Structure formats: C-alpha cells, structure tokens
Amino acid sequence: MNFPPMMTEGSSRAFKFASSMPSLGWEPVIIAFHTISGTEVEQWPFDVHYVGLEVSPSELSTEQLFRFVHGLPQKRLSFPKLGVNARLNADVRGSGWKKDAGTIAEQILRDNPDIEMIYAQGPPFAPHRLALELSEKHHLPVVFDCIGPFDDDKLEMMIMFSGHCVVMPTREKKEVFLRKYRGKLVHDDITIVRNGFDPEAFQALGAKQERGSLMHWVFHIEMAGEKDLKAFFSGLSSFVESQPVAREAISLTFTGRGYAGIGLYLKKYGLDDLVGADAVCSHLEELRLCRHADMFCVVLGRDKGSDGYVPERLYDVLGMNTPLAGVLPEGLTRQLLLDTGGKVASIDSTGEISGLLQDALYLWRSGQLPPVAESAVDKYRIRSAIQELLREMATKLPLARAQGDERQL
C-alpha cells in the first residue's frame, strides 16, 4: 500500500490508520511499496516491510527524488539506460510488486497465525488483487479501502461484490458506485471512512513559529494542467506587480505533485526569487512547512475527477489552524474550504486570484488574517474515522474474537 516515506495519495491515510491501531488493541503489520535508505523516521510501534524499490538520496537529484516519492515517472531521455536511473524509470507504483509482496505476506501469516484481517488500499490495485488471493487461501476477511477510481471494470466488480468490507473516503465516491450498480449495490455495501487529521502527529513538528517579517505562503498544487497553471501564475504575477511591497513581504513554497510542472511558469513570470523552499521530498518536512505557514492555499485544476477530489494534505492543515484559501473550480475541495472559513477564487479567473492574494496580504499585514476555527474542523479528527473503520471491521469478525484484548491486522 501507499506508505511513508512515499508521498503518494493514500500514504497519509494508511499511516494514520496504522498509527492509531496499537492504542485500540490492534497490532498492524505493514507491507508497503517503495522506500528511501537512510530516511530518519520515528520509531513506529509496528513492523513495516518494504517490497518495492529502495533508493538512496545520494543517488538522486532533488527532482528525481521528488518524482520518485510522489509516484511520478522520471522524464524520458533524461538519464542513462543503466544503473539507478533505469530502476527509477520503472513503474514506481508497483511493477512486479505483487509477486514479491505475496511471498512476504505468506511468511508473515505463517509467523503470525493470530492475524485476523487484511487491509488493502488502492489505487494502485496490486494490494487489492493480493488481498483477494490471500483471503481465498487463508479464509480471512478483508477491508478494501478504495481511495480512487478503478481502471479495471472486472477487478472493480470483484471487489464490490466480494462480500468483504468496502470503504471509501467521501460520500461522493460512494454515490458514484451506487449509481453505477443501481439495484445491485445498496448503501450498506460501502462504508464512508473519512480522512482527517491526527493532533498527536503535530507534536513532532514543534511549536508554531511567531509571525516574522515575511508572509510565508504554501501553495499545494494538484491535478493542474497547462491552462490551469497559466491562469494561476498569471494571477499570482498580476498580484505581485500590482503591490509594490509584495516582493519584500512574501515568501512562496510550492508542494504537491503539481510542483513538477511549475518551473517554466516561475521563470516566465519572473517569480523565481520569491520561492523560499526547493522541492519538498519528505512527508514530515511538508507538514512542518504547512504548520509554520501564514497561509495554505490549494491550487486545484480542472482535470477529470477533480470535482470529487480533496488533497490529503488539506485535512492535515485543517488541524493546524493555518489560514486557508483555494484557487480551484467548483467541487468537493471548494465546498470544504468554504465550510471551514477559507477564501476561494476560481482557477480560470486571473482577477479573482489576484484579488484573493491582495486581500490575504492586507489582512496579514494588519494582523487580522483569521485562522481556521477549531469548532469548524472538530469533526475531521482522525479518531472519529478510526472508530467507523473499527465498527466496520467488527462486523466481519466473530463477536468473541472482535472483543479480544489484542488483534492483528
């Protein structure tokens, strides 16, 4: 499954689920995709087996490392055909992973005969395929966590009608399947287990910094095509040019998968000198930047499916009381920002984008930039989602075993 140090969609979700389990009486054993050698991570109270690639930061440029941890393909014709670059140009989402993961899973099951359930997250759907095989062989129930659309109708139907638990992060995703399989699926066949933030995870980030002489902005870019990026940077440039104090007052950091495509626009609009951080290749470092930002702004493009998409990182920032904004189309993310007091501008309106940024700078300079109200985000604490997941898991376990002192997932 997706798991740190990877920064692919689903990594934060899986990590939060696993981190919460020990205190609730479950002992998770993780089989994950790729890792980075020498990564300094806290001592997790569970085992993680990495099956895919292992790369060293010393072998990679910052751009290569960024593309690797975000599950992006390396640029073609940029590297020699042999060595680490050949490995990087392989499918970092799990090519060949299922076979090796299956071998490790079988060993784990032999060593831990008290394992009672399998959790599989997708996409990518190699874990779903493996979970089906292991379930049939070892007669174990499965929780299928579907965080994105299937590309395989046959696999989709196998999961939906398997009789196992199927969970999804939003009501909108659930309704897509209920409409598609009208009359064959009912509401109880899919459970919503929402994303959320874990307050305990913020302890490792240190205390929030006092306001400095620069306004620090984090722009988190996802699903943005050329037209979207052009519109956004045009609005950002218009704002900078219209505010004489802007160049001395702001610092910009860009995160998210969309960072890979912004270099051309930074140069075109002369904004390079305002960038305060290079590509962010660490889950903890990205959280730290968001925690200490004066404003977090989601930049979401109009790609297919963006209307039902919410970046995982936004849920983390909801728990940080960092002021929120969004440059984006209509959809789920826009509504979430409005519901929690964030300010929004349309991704296709240069004027709205410039105006939003001007207003934010004015409020910050006057000390009136409002944080997110705790009352507005209390329902997004991850513990409530974990309880929903546990209730769903318990329905597939015999009652006596579900009430045992310690269980394994």
Q: What pLDDT sits at residue 24?
A: 83
Q: Please check whether residues 217 and 339 belong to one and the same domain.
A: yes
Q: Please check whether residues 350 and 393 belong to one and the same domain.
A: no
Q: Please check whether residues 163 and 260 belong to one and the same domain.
A: no
Question: In this structure, is residue 83 part of a structural domain?
Answer: no
Q: Please check whether residues 301 and 176 belong to one and the same domain.
A: no
DSSP states of 181-239 as a string? TBTTB-GGGSEE----B-GGGGGGG-SPPPP-SSEEEEEEEES--HHHHHHHHHHHHHH
Task: Please state the domain count of the chain.
Answer: 2
Q: Please check whether residues 144 and 214 belong to one and the same domain.
A: no
Q: What pLDDT sits at residue 211?
A: 75
Q: What is the DSSP letter of 377?
A: H
Q: Please check whether residues 277 and 155 belong to one and the same domain.
A: no
Q: Please check whether residues 135 and 217 belong to one and the same domain.
A: no
Q: Please check whether residues 154 and 222 belong to one and the same domain.
A: no
Contacts of 33 (CB under 8 A, 6+ apart): 1, 2, 3, 6, 8, 50, 51, 52, 92, 93, 94, 97
Question: In this structure, is residue 227 part of a structural domain?
Answer: yes
3-15 tens-digit pLDDT: 999 999 999 999 9
Question: In this structure, is residue 130 part of a structural domain?
Answer: yes
Question: Per 3-state DSSP, what percentage of the chain is helix, strand, and coil (rounded to 5)?
Answer: 45, 15, 40
Question: In this structure, is residue 307 part of a structural domain?
Answer: yes
Q: Please check whether residues 248 and 191 belong to one and the same domain.
A: no
Question: In this structure, is residue 253 part of a structural domain?
Answer: yes
Q: Please check whether residues 19 and 165 belong to one and the same domain.
A: yes
Question: In this structure, is residue 78 part of a structural domain?
Answer: no
Question: In this structure, is residue 134 part of a structural domain?
Answer: yes
Give strand ranges (E) for 243-353: 250-255, 295-300, 324-327, 343-345
Burial class (CB in 10 A: 0-12, 13-18, 19+), 43: exposed
Domain hosting 175: range is 11-53+90-196+382-408
Indicate whether this model's pTM tops 0.95: no
| Contact yes or no for 337/324 (Cβ under 8 A) | yes
**What's the CA dihedral at 336, 341, 330, 219 to 10 degrees?**
-90
Tell me which residues of the chain have a pLDDT lower than 70.
39-43, 76-95, 398-409
Q: Please check whether residues 277 and 182 belong to one and the same domain.
A: no
Q: Please check whether residues 189 and 319 belong to one and the same domain.
A: no
Residue 36's CATH number? 3.40.50.2000
In one letter, which amino acid is 283? H
Question: In this structure, is residue 72 part of a structural domain?
Answer: no
DSSP run (H or E) holding 407: strand 407-408
Distance (Å, rounded) from C-alpha 393 to C-alpha 165? Answer: 7
